[in-house]
Structure 1
């Protein structure tokens, strides 16, 4: 079992921490360098967490638990227009990243008004490639309730956010609803906004924990972080990708930011514990930029 953590510190001597993580059998999930500051999302064996904390203290860095690390979330907005973005949706995205989440902003093509709002099959499939979806809706109760068709048949957990109080029973298809996060023409910095964001984090963590427990009943053949590490070590083209997190971990797989048509055969032949990836996972073209999506098979799927 691994514990997911976030390290925040300086770039100086950070290689010592990375070498320790590798020696302990851990993994770097995501690395961000901001001038002279370094932020690492990492996974280490639970028994070795204290060793990492000691090294972090030695380097004058800070270690915190990152319960969302190793997951990919979708932040869905009815449109990319300014009356839906960037305020609440972008602040939700930024806040969740503090807890280790890798999230993607998705704006639907037809959400400018209640009468024409819609979602395409392509958009549904793109959203369902994630571990969880958060729909950032508006400030009017009836409008939110009338838009349940945007998420009532999405096959992953869905959290809806908006301004008014709404009973979850009035939102078929939603696993949870968080109020106090409607459309506002400013950053979400006030006390009531921060409390709503904290509530959202709590709900996201609970849903992901439940999903992990369900997966534990029939787990993937190998952990997704092992797949991520193998791909990074065996596919040289990964080093040429300039996008953040070129191999993004999910609960049950990874997203690889390489063109499917050009690299999918090479990815299929990556070896993990002596087995080619194509024998333990489904490898398909992502609905996001024709990337490669790897979904790991469960233990019972090969019986």
Structure 2
């Protein structure tokens, strides 16, 4: 079993941490470099967590458990246009990254307007490729309640944020609702904003933990982090991808940032233990830039 961790430290000597993780048989899931600070999302064997903590202490860094590591989250805004004040959505996305999540900002093409907001089938498909979706909505209760149709057809858990207090039962299709956000024309730096962000993180972690427990009843044959590692080692084209996290881990698979038409055969033939990936996963084109989406099949479907 692997434990997912977040390491926060300086850039200086960070390669020592990466070498230790490799020596322990662990994986670097995500690497974010922010000026002189480094945030690593890791997966290491549970019995070796203390060794990682000791190394972090030596490097004057910090290690903490990261329940969101290995997940991909969609942060959805009715629009990312300037007039819709996307500050809250941007800060939500940035805050989730601190806890190990890989998130994508999605602005709906026609999501603005109480009476005219719409979501296309393609946008729904894109959102459904993620592990969880956060809809960053506005400041008025009646407006938020009028937009519940945006969640219809979304098969992943949906967390809605907004300014007023609303019972989640009033929002059909939503798994949870977090107040304290809304259309705020500034960064979320005040005390009440930080408290709302922390509550959001707690709720998202609980939902993801519940999904993990459900999946544990019928898990895939191999963990997604192992698939990610094998793809990175066996498909050389990955080395030429300059997008962040060329192979992105999800709860039930990975997203490979290579063109489907050109590289899906290479992905299908990746060897994971004694299996070929095409035998234990569904490999299909992603709605996102024609990337490759690998969804691992549960054990019972392979019997």
TM range (shorter): over 0.9
> What's the offset of the Cα at 1:19?
2.0
TM-score by length of 2: 0.97
Q: Which moved more, 1:288-297 or 1:113-122?
A: 113-122
The alignment partner of 2:83 has SS state of: coil
* 1:8 aligned onto 2:8: yes
The alignment partner of 1:60 has SS state of: coil
TM-score by length of 1: 0.97
What is aligned with 2:209?
209
Q: Which moved more, 1:74-83 or 1:122-131?
A: 74-83
Following superposition of structure 1 onto structure 2, how do residues 1-303 of structure 1 map, counting pairs within 5 Å? 1-303=1-303
1:157-198 CA-partner distances (Å, limit 9, x unpaired): 000000011111110000000011110111111111111111
Partner Cα distance (2:9, 2:188) in 1: 26
Partner Cα distance (1:34, 1:94) in 2: 12
Number of residue pairs aligned between Structure 1 and Structure 2 = 303
Partner Cα distance (2:197, 2:211) in 1: 21
> What's the offset of the Cα at 1:35?
4.5
> Superposition RMSD on alpha carbons, in Å?
1.1
The answer (yes or no) to whether the contact 1:77–1:85 under 8 Å persists in 2 is no
Pair 1:243–1:157, CA change in 2 (3 A): same
Q: Which moved more, 1:84-93 or 1:215-224?
A: 84-93
Task: Point out 4+ residue stretches in structure 1 off by more than 4 angstroms.
Answer: none
The gaps in structure 1 that reach 5 residues or longer are none
Partner Cα distance (2:254, 2:247) in 1: 6
The alignment partner of 1:174 has SS state of: coil
Partner Cα distance (2:170, 2:140) in 1: 14
Partner Cα distance (1:263, 1:58) in 2: 42
The answer (yes or no) to whether the contact 2:86–2:183 under 8 Å persists in 1 is no
The alignment partner of 1:12 has SS state of: coil
Pair 1:260–1:136, CA change in 2 (3 A): same
The answer (yes or no) to whether the contact 2:138–2:183 under 8 Å persists in 1 is yes
Pair 1:195–1:40, CA change in 2 (3 A): same
